[in-house]
Each structure stands twice: as C-alpha cells, then as structure tokens.
Homo-oligomer: A and B are copies of this chain.
Amino acid sequence: MTDTAPRPTLEAVAARAGVSRATVSRVVNGGDGVREPLVERVRKAVEELGYVPNQAARSLVTRRHDAVAVVVAEPETRVFADPFFALQLRGISKELTAYDNQLVLLLTEGRDDHARVGRYLAGGHVDGALVFSLHLDDPLPGLIQHAGVPTVFGGRPDWSGGDRRGVVYVDSDNRGGARDAVRHLVGLGRTRIAHITGALDQTSAVDRLDGYRDVMVDADPRLIVEGDFTPAGGERAMRELLERCPDLDAVFAANDLTAAGALRVLRESGRRVPQDVAVVGFDDMLPVAEQTEPSLTTVRQDIEEMGRLMARLLLRGLDRRAAEQGVGAAPSSVVLPTTLVRRASA
C-alpha cells in the first residue's frame, strides 16, 4: 500500500527546529540541559514530522538494545501447551513494556536449536535473557553462562553440572507448598498419604517430592509413584497406587493435571472423593482445578508474578551493570510463597 515512507531523521528534525542534531538528541533522550523554549520547539518539530528514532543507529553507538530474549526450552509439547508458561510470559511482557524493553521470543526444540540460541545470545543482540530451562540435563544454562549474557532463570535450574555462582532464578516455593499440602491432608486425619510425582527430571517435581518427604518422614515407599505432570500419567500412577496400596486414604499429586487424571481413576474404582480418598493438586490452574469433580484443593502459585519478577530482576541487573559496576548488591534469586486453596477434594 503505502510506499516506504522516507522516515525523518534527527537531522531533519534539527533543521526544522533550527537547532543542531545534538540538541534534538538531548531532547529526545530526556531533555536535560536544554532550555525550555528550545525543548518546546524541538518537541513540536518531532511531532510535526512524526519522528521516531532509529533504534538500529542508536544501538550501534550505545551498545544497548532495550531488548530481552525469552528462551523457552520446549522438548515436549505439554510444557508449552499449558497455561503456566503463557501466564509467566504475560507477567514478563508487562514488566518489560513498562520499561520500554522489547521481548524477543526464542523457542527451542532439540539440540541444534540450542546452538542457535547460544549463538544468538552470544551475538549481543539483546541486553539480557530470561530462560525457562525445565530439564535437569539441559545444556542451555551452561551455554548461556558461557555466552556471558545477563540471565535470570524461571524455576530453579539444575546446577549439578555447573557453576552456581551468580545464577539468579525465580521460583515458587515448591517444597514448602508441598509440605503445606501434605500437612493439610495430615490435619484431615489421613495417614496413608500417597504422592504422584511430576517428571523427576524437573527441579519443580523433585522439590515437591522433597516437600512430601519432609512431612512423611518415613512414608511407605510404595506410596510414591512417578508421574509426568500429565493427566494420562496421573491415571497410570493412580492405578498403580490402588493396586499396591488399596488402603490409601489421600493423594498429593504433583500438579493439577495429574490430580485430574487421578480423580478419574478413583471415581472409576468406586472411591468417593474426598470421603474415601482426599486429593490435593498443585498449581491452581483454574481451568483445571475448578472443573474437576469434585473441584480440586490445590496449592496456588502466582505465576504471572513470577514472570514479572524475572523481568524486574533482569532489568535491575542490567541497570546496575550500566552504572559502571556500581555498588548495590547483585540481584539474587527469589522464591515466591505458595498458598493452599481449599476446595472440595480435600
């Protein structure tokens, strides 16, 4: 439609306002040290010409991009298809927008993609990165640390292989939340409390299992079955549990989807929930938790806030860096609290 409109440059604005480029630049970037009448004239010229700074030219000299990469390692569809990530992304977006930063989304799938992402980050196209590294053996954290890009992780990364110094992450208190869930079941008088874990190659699943163990210090090992965060996994695990321990009276599922699967099997088996078996989930994913039958008691985490916090931490770190290694502590990791939401299932 419109032919490539010849966008006005600083020069053009300067000419129109009858000042030098430098002055226009000053006005555009905050306007400090320019007298009011001039500021006004420049503003007017900018307005009239519809001037928008050329980010490329600016980046070339400032070495800043006002852009942050969000890297999502997504080996499995599940991860991406659940609302979890979407909510976090939204939190991130809000925070970045508030500070005029762009969000560059990098989805990876498979090993070669990792290399690509590493190259991209090392290439200095963005000021920092927010990384969702979900699996224990993920090479991504290492790659990124190597790339030397300021980074904040979503969820505690696995640092078994690496250097944990300087690693900043934002996570929910998975362990504490799990403890709360299990304690709640204990408080209900349940004694044979089972746990269906998440995919144990993810720290969140491990942490929730640890929380369960914190309370059930000498639990019957048969009460713990590995799931994978999916409803199908929950069903399978629940069947196994019922076979092994028909006397169980409660289940703590590693997430709501798992709980939904478990509920279905419990119903099939003729158990009443919560009378015969109480069930608690994790996440408080509304579309799931509110619609199971019965509705699910679960552990809520503020996912959007996690995202917002990640972005905030990163931007703060960038500022600090910009301020010539200024004083003030480097940002450190944050673990957000969880809350138990009581519904009908326990």
Contact = CB atoms under 8 A, between A and B. Distances in A.
Contacts of A119: 52
Contacts of A165: 1
Contacts of A5: 148
The number of times this chain is found in the oligomer is 2
Interface residues of A, number: 57
Given A81-B83, A287-B81, A116 B97 contact: yes
Contacts of A82: 83, 287
B148 A231 contact: no
Interface stretch (A34-42, A53-61, A184-192, A243-251): A53-61
Contacts of A286: 81
A125 B55 contact: yes
A90 B86 contact: no
A136 interface: no
Given A1-B148, A5-B148, A124-B52, A93 B65 contact: no
25 contacts: A1-B166, A4-B148, A50-B122, A52-B119, A55-B123, A55-B125, A56-B56, A67-B104, A70-B105, A74-B90, A80-B90, A81-B86, A81-B87, A81-B287, A83-B83, A93-B106, A94-B109, A97-B116, A102-B104, A102-B125, A103-B104, A103-B106, A104-B105, A264-B291, A264-B293
Interface of A: 1-2, 4-5, 7, 50, 52-57, 59-60, 65, 67, 70, 74, 80-83, 85-87, 89-90, 93-94, 97, 102-107, 109, 113, 116, 119, 122-125, 145, 148, 165-166, 231, 257, 260-261, 264, 286-287, 291, 293
Question: Which 7 A-B residue pairings sit nearest by Cβ, starting from the closest?
Answer: A2-B148, A56-B59, A81-B83, A52-B123, A93-B107, A56-B60, A105-B105
